[in-house]
């Protein structure tokens, strides 16, 4: 059935998610462009600008140079390369480094391949780690300045565990930043958006990537993800301080950026 993921038990979910991303790794960008009409690029640029990686951090010690960034579910490197470009070009910072962490080896391989076309390939500013975001014993406590997770956390089996892990690895004063599909606040836009998601996306998936089920799963995972307010509550529960409202809606709430600060 087209709804192959609906009744999948949590225990099986992880391997299913793995299969989805292995199957979409190569066509990933083209699909994102088609599905979001190119808007995901604007969101990602905005996300990175709002974090201003490589700028002076209040939590930074006098002898620290650059930021230590952990990009979780970083897959193909989309966010990581943008952050490094921003640090380099906007803040003239050549020290900031990003660890791209992802549970899926195929996505990481795609990211590694793409890094060949960047100035960061084979430098100390970029590395790749295969890990489950819910459990990262290889990353020490209080070692990270910025933790990013973009269009990733809704696929995690235990989201609260991932948030707790984010809290653990961040330094005091460190920033948690998440961009994820969210709940649309306008009923008219929501109607259009739901029709797009439930009819166009699986069809695009079938025609362009030859894989309807994976894209059907992605749509369902968007539906199941908590509201802006619920998710903010989970971030708070992990121990984070919430700056201001705690989230920013993008394109009427189709996506939202959540932030938290480790006290
Ligand atoms: N951040 C990238 C972007 O925005 O283009 C990639 C997002 S992609 C939609 C979601 C990624 O989450 C996939 O690469 C997948 O392998 C990864 N992922 C899923 N579950 C994970 C987990 N438990 N821990 C770490 N990564 C996970």
Q: What is the pLDDT of residues 89-120, one digit of tens each?
A: 999 999 999 999 999 998 999 999 999 999 99
Q: How far apart are CA 88 and CA 84, in angstroms?
A: 6
Q: State the closest ligand 1 atom to the C-alpha of 150, by its place in the atom list counted from 1.
A: 1
What's the rounded mean pLDDT across residues 26-51? Answer: 87
Q: How far apart are CA 127 and CA 186, in angstroms?
A: 41
- Assigned token pair, 87: 């640090």
Q: Is 247 in the pocket of ligand 1 (CB under 6 A)?
A: no
The reported pTM is: 0.91
The strand pair at 247-250 and 144-150 is best described as unpaired
Q: Is 71 in the pocket of ligand 1 (CB under 6 A)?
A: no
- Assigned token pair, 137: 């014993």
Cβ-based neighbours of 260, under 8 Å, separated by 6 or more: 175, 176, 235, 236, 238, 240, 241, 242, 243, 246
Q: Is 23 in the pocket of ligand 1 (CB under 6 A)?
A: no
What's the rounded mean pLDDT across residues 29-56? Answer: 90
For residue 1, report the distance from its CA to the centre of ligand 1, in Å. 25
Q: What is the DSSP string of 169-236?
A: HEEEEEEEEEEEE---S-HHHHHHHHHIIIIIHHHHHHHHHS-HHHHHHHHHHHHHSPPHHHHHHHHH
Beta bridge partners of 150: 179
The ipTM estimated for the assembled molecules is: 0.98
Q: Is 21 in the pocket of ligand 1 (CB under 6 A)?
A: yes
């Amino acid at each position: 059935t087209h709804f192959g993921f609906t009744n999948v038990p949590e225990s099986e979910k992880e391997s299913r998610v793995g299969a989805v991303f292995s199957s979409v790794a190569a066509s990933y960008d083209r699909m994102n462009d088609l599905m979001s009409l190119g808007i995901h690029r604007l969101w990602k640029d905005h996300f990175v600008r709002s974090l201003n990686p490589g700028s002076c951090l209040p939590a930074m010690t006098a002898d620290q140079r650059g930021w230590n960034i952990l990009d979780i579910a970083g897959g193909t490197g989309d966010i990581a390369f943008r952050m490094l470009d921003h640090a380099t070009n906007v803040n003239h910072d050549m020290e900031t480094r990003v660890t791209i962490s992802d549970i899926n080896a195929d996505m990481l391989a795609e990211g590694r391949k793409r890094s060949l076309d960047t100035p960061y390939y084979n430098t100390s500013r970029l590395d790749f780690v295969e890990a489950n975001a819910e459990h990262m014993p290889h990353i020490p406590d209080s070692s990270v300045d910025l933790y990013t997770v973009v269009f990733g956390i809704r696929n995690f089996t235990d989201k609260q565990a991932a948030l707790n892990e984010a809290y653990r690895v961040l330094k005091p004063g460190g920033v948690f930043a998440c961009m994820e599909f969210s709940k649309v606040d306008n009923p008219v836009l929501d109607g259009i958006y739901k029709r797009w998601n439930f009819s166009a996306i699986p069809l695009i998936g079938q025609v362009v990537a030859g894989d309807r089920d994976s894209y059907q799963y992605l749509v369902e995972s968007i539906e199941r993800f908590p509201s802006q307010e619920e998710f903010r509550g989970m971030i708070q529960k992990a121990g984070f301080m919430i700056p201001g409202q705690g989230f920013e809606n993008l394109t009427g709430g189709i996506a939202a950026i959540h932030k938290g600060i480790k006290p």
